[in-house]
Each structure stands twice: as structure tokens, then as C-alpha cells.
Amino acid sequence: EFVRLDYFDIVRCTVIDPMHNLLLGVAKTQWYSVWIKGKVLRADTSKQERELHFIHQILETFECPSWTGHLPLRVGEPAGGSLTADEYKFAVTAPWAII
């Protein structure tokens, strides 16, 4: 119905939501679907430390200003929970960019 209005321009009146589109779309797909579900980053076994262990070590020692946000220490594991769009934003601009 909006398209029938003379003053409505579908291109100018479309809202782009970068927080959810880019961060929960692209960043989550890259992190969770490719790295975690694809078994690129694996959790520790009883005999060997794996890739996620080193990421957890970096996150434990990673210091940043309090206003920037933080990530759960057990990111990538069920105990770490799922990340919000804001946590993905922090992750791709700070610690994951360094890793």
C-alpha cells in the first residue's frame, strides 16, 4: 500500500539495520557457522589443548576500557552462551581483529 503513495520512495524510505544485518548476519555466520560448527576452532580434550583454549587465554588477559564492552570468557562453548549484536560488534573490532 505504501508504494501507491505519491510521496513514498521505496529506496529512500527503506531502513537498513547494520547492527543486526552485519553483526548478527555476517559476523555470526563467520564466527559460529564457519569456525565453531565447522570444527575449525575446537575445544580442549582431556589430553590436548586446542584452538579455543588459546582464544580464551587471550580474552582473559585482554584489557580494554570499560565503555567498550566485553565478551564472555568461555566464548565458543555452550557455557559461554550466545553473543548479542553488541558483543559481536566489540569482538570484530577489538580482540578478534588482533587474533
pLDDT tens sequence across 37-84: 777 777 777 787 777 888 888 888 888 888 877 777 788 777 777 888
- Residue 63: per-residue pLDDT: 83
- Residue 34: per-residue pLDDT: 78
**pTM of this structure:** 0.62
User: DSSP secondary structure string, 6-71?
Assistant: TT--TTTTPPP-HIIIIIIIIIHIIIIIIIITTTSS----SS---HHHHHHHHHHH----GGG---
